[in-house]
Structure 1
Amino acid sequence: MKVTIKTYNAVAYWRWDAPSDDVCGICRVQFDGTCPNCRFPGDDCPILNGKCGHSFHLHCVNDWIQTESSRGLCPMCRQKFEFEAE
């Protein structure tokens, strides 16, 4: 008996290495979802952690830091926002 596979559909699942209940402090979307600027989740918008312990989507925190009212402060705790070195 010979079997020939004509087509197949691969399915994959991924998630960020973050707690499942964590959400971006700016857009309030879970990290498994997408920020408002992205169509698909993934490496184009990674999660950035601040030294203060708060996490944000890359696009969200970049937009926040560029606003004049942010003054370079974390939107959650208002400490000077510095990225945590990996």
Structure 2
Amino acid sequence: MKVKIKEWHAVATWRWDMPEDEVCGICRVDFDGCCPNCKYPGDDCPLIVGKCHHSFHLHCILSWINQESAKGLCPMCRQKFEVAA
């Protein structure tokens, strides 16, 4: 018996390679979501991991670092924020 497929609707999901319970330390949104400035998660709203191992949405950490009061420090541990290589 042969079966002929007439129509097929694919569904996919994706996840960042991060622990499930991780949220952005600034906006408190899950990493599978996007920051408040973006409409859709993904490459337009990437994650940035600092040398201190804290992770943030790109737009969230850029907004934080650009504030004069932040003084270039991580909002979680107050160490100098540098992107991990």
After TM superposition, the score normalised by the length of structure 2 is: 0.90
Deviations 1:38-59 (A, max 9, x none): 1111011111100011000001
- RMSD over aligned Cα, in angstroms? 1.5
Identity of matched residues, %: 65
Q: 1:21 to 1:4 in 2, by over 3 A?
A: closer
* Residue 55 (structure 2) pairs with residue 44 (structure 1): no
**Runs of 4+ that moved beyond 3 A:** 1-4
Describe the shift of the 1:14–1:4 C-alpha distance in structure 2 as closer, same or farther (beyond 3 A): closer
User: What corresponds to 1:68 in structure 2?
Assistant: 68
| TM superposition shift of 1:2 | 8.4
Quote the residue 2:84 is aligned against: 84
Q: CA deviation at 1:22?
A: 0.4
- For residue 56 of structure 1, give the secondary structure of its aligned residue in structure 2: strand
2-side partners of 1:53 and 1:2: how far apart?
A: 52
Distance 1:66 1:24 in 2: 17
- Seen in structure 2, the aligned counterparts of structure 1 residues 2 and 76 have a Cα distance that, compared at 3 Å, is closer
Shift of the 2–27 alpha-carbon distance from structure 1 to 2, 3 Å rule, reads closer
Runs of 5+ unmatched residues, structure 2 = none
> Which blocks of at least 5 consecutive residues in structure 1 are unaligned?
none
Letter in 2 for 1:42: G
Please list the CA deviations of residues 21-46 of structure 1 after superposition, one character each: whole Å capped at 9, or x if unmatched. 00000000110111101111101111
